[in-house]
Amino acid sequence: MMKTIQFPKKEDWGELLKRPTRTFKDIETTVDDIFKNIQQGGDQAVLKYTSMFDGVDLKSFEVSAEEIDQAQSQVSDPLKSAIQLAKSNIHKFHEAQKTEPVKVETQPGVTCWQAKKPIQKVGLYIPGGTAPLFSTILMLAVPAKIAGCSEIVLCTPPDKLGKINPVTLYTAQLCGIDKVFKVGGIQAIGAMTFGTETIPKVYKIFGPGNQYVTVAKQVATTFDVAIDMPAGPSELLVVADETANPEFVASDLLSQAEHGFDSQVVLVSTDEPMIDKVKVAIENQLKELPRKEMAAKAIENSKFVLVKDQSSALELIDFYGPEHFIISTKNDDYYVENINNAGSVFIGKYTPESAGDYASGTNHTLPTNGYAKQYSGVNLDSFNKAITYQKITEEGIRNIGEAVELMAEAEGLQAHKNAMTLRRNEVENK
């Protein structure tokens, strides 16, 4: 079941580290059909797909104030305190990401500046599925609020009784979100893309989901909607040497594996006995897990890779570009300083990935499928856009006017040149 791959050749890395995901094309046709129906049918189409995919017939899907109030009393005080602690840390870390406007005089009389403005309408997708990810609300709603987004819409799938998990509703209210809809999957992304009679259209959609949600988000970008990133099933890579604690490493691999059948976990090590110890620890810990079937299935997709030294390990890890990267070695700094491609990095044996998933303060909405090579995880800037401004005085016209004219003429754009020439003439004739 858990085979170790020893010293793989570089040309085999692509095949070896392939994610266990279906291709975009498989799912795209389904998404196109559902989007078309939602675009035309609005709420009725969304209700139809909720019945089809979630197995529940709803009359309407907006969560009522009464349901939100009831949820408050159904969440235990210790859990409320835990969520408040996490929210406080996430708020601190994202608040610290605010930047001052940048203003510079590029030439005397030519002033350019940049200021951040919030994206006004954002949609948050919170998976329900096999585990309601209420922690994702904190990761998305907290920075959205700090950025100043004026409309925040939350969609999450209902259970078979047409209800939303009380912890999800408690967390949404704690974060100040008042528009919560019982809609999941492709139909949720479609509803936020086009808008329906009930669900507002948004400018940008955030949040993780299964492969259907991932493809739906990518299709949404063809309808003038932005997305945070193409985030698919969750993944984790651990690099460990003989100094690591095999029990800790096993627990980290299993914590990721229990997300879903299509999660992928990878252990890279320079020490074969460590790999063997981790495998034994996985077998023992797996027996105790309530979601052991899910985790066992994901462990089948896992890879245990033996490499000859830390530079080979680093090269392989950078090639893979893990969503989560845990470092447990005698020389952690080597990896910290040299890694280029990772969504979020967890350093040292006392830093489990689950800390970042919940309460340390960093964001857990991260790029998967190797997208860490070109995407960042969600951060405060994800909810902002930068607008540039410029102001030119008469002195500025004298300093850059001729350069603008010459460049416009060289590109054959006479009207561009004229726009400057008219101003130069006026300034010079004063």
Residue 187 labeled ligand binder = yes
Sign of CA dihedral 47, 49, 54, 56: positive
Q: Is 411 annotated as a binding residue?
A: yes
Alpha carbon of 57 to those of 40, 43, 52, 182, 243: distances in Å? 20, 13, 9, 11, 54
Is 43 a known ligand-binding residue? Answer: no
Going by C-alpha positions, the residue among 135, 206, 155 that lies closest to residue 364 is 135
At residue 264, φ and ψ (nearest 5 deg) are -130, 135
CB-based burial of residue 150 (10 Å sphere; 0-12 exposed, 13-18 middle, 19+ buried)?
exposed
Instruction: Please list the active-site residues.
Output: 323-324
Which helix (H) or strand (E) is 271 found in, with range? none
282-310 per-residue burial string, b: 16 or more CB within 10 A, e: under 16 = beebbeeeebbebbbbbbebbbbbbbeeb
First-to-last alpha carbon distance for the chain, in angstroms, is 85
Residue 256 assigned to a binding site: yes
269 is in an annotated binding site: no
SS3 (DSSP) at 335: helix
Pairing outcome for strands 384-392 and 110-118: antiparallel
Whether residue 187 contacts residue 49, with contact meaning beta carbons closer than 8 Å, is answered with yes
Retrieve residue 115's tokens. Answer: 């200021």
One-letter amino acid at 176 equals G
At residue 252, the 3 state secondary structure works out as helix
- What does the alpha-carbon distance between residue 250 and residue 140 come to, in Å, rounded to a whole number? 29
Quote the tokens at residue 30.
Answer: 């389904």
CA–CA distance, 314 with 284 (Å, rounded to integer): 29
CA 156 to chain centre: 16
Q: Is 416 annotated as a binding residue?
A: yes
Positive/negative CA dihedral, 222, 223, 226, 228: negative
Coil, strand or helix at 173: helix
- Residue 259 labelled as part of a binding site: yes
Secondary structure (3-state) at 29: helix
Q: State the sign of the Cα–Cα–Cα–Cα dihedral 359, 360, 361, 367.
A: negative
Amino acid at 275: I
Q: How far apart are CA 384 and CA 390, in angstroms?
A: 20
Q: Which residues are annotated as a binding site for Zn(2+)?
A: 256, 259, 357, 416
Q: Which residues are annotated as a binding site for substrate?
A: 234, 256, 259, 324, 357, 411, 416
